[in-house]
């Protein structure tokens, strides 16, 4: 099956610093990738949609300047949490669909990144 690789799996950073999370589709191309945030014992909340070669679209309530998204190639999207604060601590997950299969198909998920801001 298709593989989505997310890196790093865990990161601890100091308050005020920025952290970059990478999401790669290893064996397929993805013109669109999705970034989710998940708090403990809660569901996945869609943060933004990453579009290759264009600006990301953000869900209502998500700060664009706080969560910078770059989708520079068909296999890589990055999420940068800028000026991180303890309340940004969470589990961040990316997903992608195979561009050749269309948009009404399963999405493959990365293994997630546990961010802890101290």
Partner 1 sequence: GESVGLHLPTLSVQEGDNSIINCAYSNSASDYFIWYKQESGKGPQFIIDIRSNMDKRQGQRVTVLLNKTVKHLSLQIAATQPGDSAVYFCAENRHDYKLSFGAGTTVTVRA
Instruction: Write out the residues near partner 1 by the rule CB under 8 A.
Output: 1, 4, 6, 34, 42-46, 49, 91, 93, 95, 103-112, 114
Least separation in angstroms between residue 114's CB and partner 1 is 7
Name which of 17 and 105 has its Cβ closer to partner 1: 105
CA pair distance 48, 13, nearest whole angstrom: 22
- Which DSSP string do the residues of 10-65 spell out, in sequence order? EEEE-TT--EEEEEEESSS--SEEEEEEE-TTS-EEEEEEEETTS--EE-TT--TT
Question: Shortest gap between Cβ of 76 and partner 1 (angstroms)?
Answer: 17
Looking at the Cβ atoms of 54 and 104, the one nearer to partner 1 is: 104
Whose Cβ is closer to partner 1: residue 12's or residue 46's? 46
Least distance to partner 1 from the beta carbon of 83, Å? 26
Assess contact for 56 and 48: CB atoms under 8 A.
Answer: yes
Residue 66 C-alpha from the chain's centroid: 13
Is the Cβ of residue 15 or residue 101 nearer to partner 1 in the bound state?
101
């Amino acid at each position: 099956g298709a593989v989505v690789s997310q890196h790093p799996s865990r990161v601890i950073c100091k308050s005020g610093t920025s952290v970059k999370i990478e999401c790669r589709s290893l064996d397929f191309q993805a013109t669109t990738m999705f970034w989710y945030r998940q708090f403990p014992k809660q569901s996945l909340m869609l943060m933004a949609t990453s579009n290759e070669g264009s600006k990301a679209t953000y869900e209502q309530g998500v700060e664009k300047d706080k969560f910078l998204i770059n989708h520079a190639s068909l296999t890589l999207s990055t999420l940068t949490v800028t000026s991180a604060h303890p309340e940004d601590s969470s589990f961040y997950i990316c997903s992608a669909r195979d561009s050749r299969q269309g948009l009404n198909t399963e999405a493959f998920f990365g293994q997630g990144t546990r961010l802890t801001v101290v």
